[in-house]
Chains A and B, each alone.
Chain A
Amino acid sequence: MFDSFVVKRRGALAVLALSLFSLTGAASVASAAPAAGLPESVRIAAVARNATGGKALFAGSSALVASQGWLAAELGKLGVKLEWLPVTTNSVAVQVNEAFANKSIDFAQYGDLPSIIANASGLKTRLVVPGGSLNNTYLVVPFNSTARSINDLKGKKIALHRGRPWEYPFSRLLAANGLKSTDVRLLNLNPQAGAAALASGSADAFFTLSDAFLLEDKKIGRVIWASKTPPQDWKMRAELWGSADFLAKYPQLAQLVATAYVRAHQIASVDSGRDEYIQAEAAAGQPESVVRRELDGDTRAWKARWSPLLTAEVKAHYAAEALYAKQSGLIAKPLDTSTLYVPQFVEQALVQLKLQQYWAP
């Protein structure tokens, strides 16, 4: 009888059934053993907007690297594929950190604060190529609001996505005006939700990147503060990070990636590169006017933006940010940021491309 069939094999069937349940956890957790030679592909995560056509179009320096095709060609010579992993703007930090954790990416171009959070929790990533598309941040209030500065928002609700890189400029803004984070009520909402909150009046202010201009265009909000003029070390950074394991295991591939990005930086940093960059950003889904407004009036020189040098300024920025993260409870244990840097890749790239003097101060 069928019953006795099952009974005789009940041990095996029970194990099979149980393993079906743990399939999800076990299967993805076990990471593949590394190949003796080179990996199958180098995977880079970059922010992408889902532009029309359903294809993800990347933004920033990664877009330049992808479109220039140099990296793909060089890796192809070694038999290694180049894979780009698009991450959506609403949750870049979470997606990239999780992807690093389950080893599905090797590099990512994303923000400074999420990298600090990742490293503080035990993940090991390293800053490979600093510089690039460094964003400005804006404080937006509803269109009809009477608030003129952050001081008018004391005690009010401000929508801010926690753990994202622009949280740090916000904290500097508060500190510069003598306010503490407890003086305002922070709503932890992702950028879309924050925009909706501002539109419907559930939030009295919204702190975000250049999507603030979209709200201005729709007459839903007004920008009352921008990070263009304050000191440079206030501003957030979004740079190329790599998994420490990968960097140790395949330094030559890492070098290729670093060189590709430095090359892209150099091409973008010439004056004519500015217009090309704007065109590329506009094609990636941001309206051109928004991109122009984001770049205009910025006190940071165009060329200096793209400098991949690991200067004392960069290090100080990260140290201060790690301190802020500890103080605000975003990380549990303090992080020593001196372990995060691997400047040798950029130095080597500059030598290879003969750009040692290009960004020298």
Chain B
Amino acid sequence: MSTNSVIATQPRSPQPSHSPSSQQSLPLPPQPMPPQPLPLPQPQPPQQQSLPLPAPAPLPPSPQQQSHLPSQQSLPLPAPALLPPLPQQSLQQVHPLPLPLPLPQHVGQPATAPGRAPSARAGLVARWLAWRWSGWTSPLLLLALWSAATSLGWAPEQILVSPLQVLHTTWELIESGELRQHLEISVLRLAGGFAIGAVAGIGFGLLLGLSPGLRAYTAPTFNVLRQLPSVALIPLFILLFGIGESFKIFIVVKATFFIVALAVHDAVAGLSERYIEVARVYGFTRWQIVRRVVLPGIVPATLTGVRIALSRSWMVLVGAELLAADSGLGQMMEMARQMFRLDIVMVGVVLTGGIGYALDRGLRWLEAHLMRWQRGDRENT
């Protein structure tokens, strides 16, 4: 356990009598120092890092090198207390320097808003924060504002439609079967392109990570193509493949492939060298190393990459459908614009957001589920 707390760097000799704190309730020495109670943040394990960020140039990175990838985990929604509450028996029980004053109350807690106990207002805020459903406050407030704006007529009907109207239109579209049709087509396109791109991406990423030769030949091209925004390819693909299904699927494949390949490559590169060494000691063949060590080890990072690729390719697909399609959610929104039906546009916006959210959540659940047994292993290492 890392012990980089300032307090903990004190010599571990039992010196109880200097502490002015009267809250010291531990028995006198020769009791060993109590363990550091502060769960200090661990250095970021690679599986929580997400994409897309190019690995520091140039390739190939050494196996020890961690990609400096930030975490893009979104906060749970609605959010309960986000950080684990620290144990209350914090620094008071530790033998600190002989400080002139007792440490302030909130030092042991994350630097967020403490309540100033005596104020009633602060008590109200604290109660609200502790309330399970407090995460819904601002969305509901926004909804209320929106309804007020439309009913008070702050903006003409063509600019802002009321939430009720949106619901009404959604129901109309569901009844006429149009919504289901567009939804099906869009989701099918996404699924098809995504499946191809993900499989190809995993395969290529593995090869790229495992073979320095391949890296040397393809890395620059890969990097350039990866950074090319997929939307820029839409007009090109339209000219090449026409307006059929193929160009949309290819766009999705392009977006997915590069993100997933990068994630897998980074994961392979970030895999601890020790695993491979142990495997070699056991005499694994190369194929066995890949199957028994590399593949399971890259699952978390791959899932993160897959999740990010999914949301990115959903966005690109909607963009492609907005530009040139004869069916699909994007096309529904564009047609609604042409018919000047803002309510249908809003339905489309809400629905595309909802699908994006559902996909994201679904993959996060999968990640957590798969990582459950992984984490068990990892903690024992």
Chain B CB within 8 A of A304 CB: no
Chain A CB within 8 A of B154 CB: yes
Question: Which chain A residues lie closer than 8 Å to B112 at the CB level?
Answer: 3
Question: Which chain A residues lie closer than 8 Å to B325 at the CB level?
Answer: 189
Chain A CB within 8 A of B239 CB: yes
Known: A193-B324, A200-B242. A123 touches B338 (CB 8 A): no
- Most central of A10, A101, A331 by chain B CB within 10 Å: A101
Task: Kindly identify which residue among B125, B239, B339 contacts A196, using a CB–CB cutoff of 8 Å.
Answer: B239
Chain A CB within 8 A of B9 CB: no
- Is there an interface contact between A4 and B114, defined as CB atoms closer than 8 Å? yes
Total interface residues on A, using CB and 8 Å?
Answer: 44
Write the B322-337 contact mask toward A (1 if CB under 8 angstroms, else 0): 0111100001001101
Question: Which chain B residues lie closer than 8 Å to A10 at the CB level?
Answer: 113, 125
Task: Kindly identify which residue among B122, B158, B243 contacts A193, using a CB–CB cutoff of 8 Å.
Answer: B243
Bound together, the chains give a CA A22 to CA B144 distance in angstroms of 13
Chain B interface mostly: loop
Give the number of residue pairs across the A-B interface with Cβ within 8 Å: 102
Write the A162-179 contact mask toward B (1 if CB under 8 angstroms, else 0): 111000000000000000
Task: Kindly identify which residue among A21, A189, A200 contacts B241, using a CB–CB cutoff of 8 Å.
Answer: A200
Question: Which chain A residues lie closer than 8 Å to B157 at the CB level?
Answer: 122
Task: Kindly identify which residue among B155, B326, B340 contacts A189, using a CB–CB cutoff of 8 Å.
Answer: B326
Question: Which chain B residues lie closer than 8 Å to A102 at the CB level?
Answer: 159
Task: Kindly identify which residue among B141, B142, B158 contacts A121, using a CB–CB cutoff of 8 Å.
Answer: B158
- Is there an interface contact between A162 and B338, defined as CB atoms closer than 8 Å? yes
- Is there an interface contact between B339 and A201, defined as CB atoms closer than 8 Å? no
Question: Which chain B residues lie closer than 8 Å to A200 at the CB level?
Answer: 239-244
B381 vs chain A, min Cβ distance (A) = 37
Chain A interface mostly: helix
Write the B107-149 contact mask toward A (1 if CB under 8 angstroms, else 0): 0000111111000001001000000000000100110010001
Write the B144-184 contact mask toward A (1 if CB under 8 angstroms, else 0): 01000100001111111000000000000000000000000
**Which A residues lie at the B interface, using CB under 8 A?**
2-4, 6-7, 10, 18, 21-22, 25, 29-30, 91, 93-94, 97-98, 101-102, 117-118, 121-123, 159, 161-164, 187-190, 192-193, 196-197, 199-203, 330-331
A-B interface, 6 closest residue pairs, ranked by CB to CB distance from nearest: A200-B242, A163-B338, A193-B324, A202-B242, A29-B155, A101-B158
| Residue contacts A-B, CB under 8 angstroms, 15 given | A3-B112, A4-B116, A10-B113, A18-B141, A29-B160, A121-B158, A123-B158, A163-B338, A188-B326, A188-B338, A189-B326, A197-B243, A200-B242, A201-B242, A202-B242
**Which B residues lie at the A interface, using CB under 8 A?**
106, 111-116, 122, 125, 138, 141-142, 145, 149, 154-160, 238-244, 323-326, 331, 334-335, 337-341
